[in-house]
Each structure stands twice: as C-alpha cells, then as structure tokens.
C-alpha cells in the first residue's frame, strides 16, 4: 500500500516524465553554421542548426582562380540548406563548390582545407 502511495506521489510531482522521454529520441541531425570558416577557425559566430524536412548540412567552399587557372582555397560557408545538391559554380574570378551531407551530425566540416 505504501509503495502505491509513493508511486502515485512520484507521478503527481513529475507530470512531464513521459514527455521528456519523447524528446530524448528526437535529437535529429545537427550541422555547423558559420558565415566564414577558414583553416579550422570560424571568423564569425560558430553555431549549429538542426535539420528540418528536406534539408541537408551544407559546406560552400569558395576558391579564388589564379591567372594560370588554378583554384586557391579562400574560405567556407557552413549551414543547413533546403534541397541541397552537390554542385560546382564557376565564374571568371572564383569557383564555388557546394557539398551536401546528412548521414551524421556535424558532417559539413571541411576536411583537408
């Protein structure tokens, strides 16, 4: 009888216990977010974003084109992007490489740059 009383008091004083369990499993995939990332440092505020429906983690790598036509890495922009697709943009002065991923949290950190 005493055990039922204690159990009843526990549920009475902890009304959100069931809801807390639901939120633990709903962590989702997180991505880095930074406007200017270069060589391991964010020159803006490094934060994170949580993927929503039809979003992916994105890494936008910007390269400067030299007179000889070579690409020199300049910086990266990290974000969550809707309908993201891997693609390269080429203009006369720069090349932008867009890389998308959603296989694991924080997968949009540029490696080797």
CA-to-CA distance for 51 and 87, rounded, in angstroms? 20
DSSP 29-58: -EEEEEEEEETTEESS--EEEE--TTEEEE
Tokens of 108: 């949009």
- Say what the pTM is: 0.72
Tokens of 101: 């991923």
CA-to-CA distance for 84 and 35, rounded, in angstroms? 17
5-18: per-residue pLDDT in tens? 444 554 444 444 44
Looking at residue 104, what DSSP letter applies?
S
55-110: per-residue pLDDT in tens? 999 999 999 999 998 999 999 999 999 999 999 999 989 999 999 999 999 999 98
């Amino acid at each position: 009888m005493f055990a039922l009383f204690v159990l009843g008091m526990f549920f009475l004083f902890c009304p959100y216990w069931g809801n807390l369990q639901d939120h633990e499993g709903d962590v989702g995939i997180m991505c880095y977010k930074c406007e200017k990332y270069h060589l391991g440092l964010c020159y803006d505020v490094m934060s994170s974003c949580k993927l929503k429906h039809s979003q992916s983690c994105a890494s936008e790598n910007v390269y400067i084109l030299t007179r000889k036509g070579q690409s020199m890495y300049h910086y990266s922009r990290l974000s969550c992007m809707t309908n993201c697709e891997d693609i390269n943009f080429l203009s006369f002065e720069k090349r932008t490489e867009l890389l998308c991923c959603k296989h694991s949290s924080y997968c949009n950190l540029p490696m080797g740059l």
